[in-house]
Amino acid sequence: MSAIAARPLKRAWPLVAEQELRDLWLAGRGLPLIFGYSLLLSVITYLVATNTALNFLEQRESVNLTLQVAVAVGALLVLLGAADAISGERERGTLESLLLSPASRLSLVVGKGIAALSIWVVAFLVTVPYIWFLGRGLGVVGVALGNGFLVGVLLALFLAGLGLLMSALSSSNRFSLSVALFTLLALFAPTQLPGGAQQSWVGDLLQRIDPISSGLHYLGKVIVDGHSPGQELSWLIGPAVAAGLALAAALAASRSLNLRGGPS
Count of chain residues binding another protein (CB under 8 A): 31
Say whether residue 264 binds another protein (CB under 8 A).
yes
- Burial class (CB within 10 angstroms; exposed 0-12, middle 13-18, buried 19+) of 259: exposed
Which CA distances in Å does 112 have to 62, 160, 177, 257? Answer: 35, 9, 16, 13
What lies within 8 Å, CB to CB, of 55 at 6+ separation is none
* Residue 1 makes contact with another protein by CB under 8 A: yes
Residue nearer to another protein on the CB measure, 20 or 210: 20
From the CB of 262, what's the least distance to another protein, in Å? 11
What's the first-to-final CA gap in the chain, in angstroms?
A: 38
Q: Does 12 bind another protein (CB under 8 A)?
A: yes
Look at the chain and count its residues.
264
Instruction: Find the part of the chain contacting another protein (CB under 8 A) among 98-106, 146-154, 174-182, 194-202.
Output: 98-106
97 part of the interface to another protein, by CB under 8 A: yes
Q: Taking a C-beta distance cutoff of 8 angstroms, is the pair 219, 244 a contact? A: no
Q: Is residue 42 involved in binding another protein (CB under 8 A)?
A: no
In the list 21, 47, 49, 99, the residue contacting another protein (rule: CB under 8 A) is 99
Q: Does 32 bind another protein (CB under 8 A)?
A: no
* Residue with smaller CB distance to another protein, 28 or 203: 28
Q: Counting contacts by CB under 8 A, is residue 192 touching another protein?
A: no
| Cα 42 from chain centroid (whole Å) | 20
Residue of 32, 55, 102, 196 that binds another protein (CB under 8 A): 102
Q: 21: closest CA among 6, 10, 31, 11? A: 31
Tell me if 23 contacts another protein by CB under 8 A: yes
- Which CB atom, from 9 or from 53, has the smaller least distance to another protein? 9
By beta-carbon proximity to another protein, the closer residue of 101 and 199 is 101
Stretch that binds another protein, among 16-24, 130-138, 158-166, 192-200 (CB under 8 A): 16-24
Handedness of CA 83, 124, 14, 93 (dihedral sign): positive
Q: Is 92 a residue that touches another protein (CB under 8 A)?
A: yes
Residue 171 contacts residue 90 (beta carbons within 8 Å): yes
The reply on whether position 19 binds another protein by CB under 8 A is yes
Judge whether 161 and 243 are in contact, CB under 8 Å: yes
